[in-house]
Amino acid sequence: MLPTPSGWKTGASSDPGTPAEETFTWSATLSYRDAPFSAPPQTTLNGMSPDDVLVEVFLWRPSPKDVQEGNVSQTPALPFTLDGAAAGQDHPGGDGSRWFQRRLGAVGQRQIDIWVFAGRPHPTTQQVAAAQSVLDGMELPTWPPAP
């Protein structure tokens, strides 16, 4: 789902047998140490050097109940263009020492939650470009239509 630039590590976890058909993919310049679906990946974040970058993508099919109750985003999430000059957003457990950008929204009939971290409060141009290249190369899985 996410490309692996030279020197980066990547991983994925999915549970297509569940009603939500959740997938989780990450790509990073550091060794990943948290369990899949950890949000935020606190051990990983604590191990980031200032030059590290982490991109995480969560993708799932909303339940019929969530759709009926309007608990899903209709806002298209892609494309996601990072703005390195923007202030980092807050994330659970964040202390401002790492830049964080997040995009939550819809991709087709799925919901997607994208988290991008840099290991410093204000990312370098190179960090933003590296994370953007990963996002630009993202491939979404092809799933059958919702029942």
pLDDT exceeds cutoff 90 at 23: no
Of the chain, the percentage scoring pLDDT greater than 90 comes to: 36
Q: Does the pLDDT of residue 35 top 80, yes or no? A: no
Q: Read off the pLDDT of each residue in 24-35 and give the average, rounded to a whole number.
A: 79
What pLDDT was estimated at residue 55?
93
Region 40-45: what's the mean pLDDT? 80
CA distance 129 to 13: 25
Contacts of 132 (CB under 8 A, 6+ apart): 81, 82
Q: List the beta bridge partners of residue 100.
A: 117
Separation between Cα atoms, residue 119 and residue 104, nearest integer Å: 21
Residue 111 CB contacts under 8 Å (≥ 6 apart), including other chains: 59, 60, 61, 62, 72, 73, 104, 105
125 vs 13, more confident: 125
pLDDT in tens, 62-121: 888 888 888 888 899 999 999 999 988 888 778 888 899 999 999 988 899 999 999 999
Q: What is the pLDDT of residues 43-74, one digit of tens each?
A: 888 888 999 999 999 888 888 888 888 888 88
pLDDT for position 22: 79
pLDDT of residue 38: 67
pLDDT at position 15 is 64
- Do the Cβ atoms of 114 and 39 come closer than 8 Å? no
The whole-angstrom separation of Cα 77 and Cα 104 is: 6
What ranges do the domains of the chain cover?
9-136
Residue 10 has pLDDT above 70, yes or no: yes
Q: Taking the model in full, what pTM does it have?
A: 0.87
Residue 115 β-bridge partners = 56, 102
